[in-house]
Amino acid sequence: MKKLFLLLAFCTLVQFANAQILKPVKWSYAAKRLNAKEGIVFLKATINNGWHIYSQNIAADGPTRTVFTFQPSKDFVLNGKTIEPKPVSHFDKMFNMNIGYFEKTVVFQQKVTLKSAGKVAVKGKLEFGACDDHQCTPPEEIQFSVVI
**Average pLDDT of the residues in 112-128:** 95
- The parent domain of residue 52 ranges over 30-147
Q: pLDDT-derived band of residue 114, with 50, 70 and 90 as boundaries? A: very high
User: Is residue 22 situated within a structural domain?
Assistant: no
Phi and psi, residue 66, nearest 5°: -85, 130
Q: Which pLDDT belongs to residue 17? A: 47
User: Is residue 24 situated within a structural domain?
Assistant: no
Q: pLDDT-derived band of residue 122, with 50, 70 and 90 as boundaries? A: very high
Q: pLDDT-derived band of residue 128, with 50, 70 and 90 as boundaries? A: very high
| Number of other CB atoms surrounding residue 39 within 10 Å | 22
pLDDT tens string 14-42 = 444 444 678 999 999 999 999 999 999 99
Do 38 and 79 touch, CB atoms closer than 8 A?
Answer: yes
What percent of the chain has pLDDT above 90? 77
The candidate with the shortest Cα–Cα distance to 108, out of 45, 47, 36, is: 45
Average pLDDT of the chain is 89
* 2 dihedral zone (left: phi>0; alpha: psi -120 to 50; beta): alpha
Distance of CA 19 to the CA centre of its chain: 21
CATH classification at residue 127: 2.60.40.1250
User: Is residue 72 situated within a structural domain?
Assistant: yes
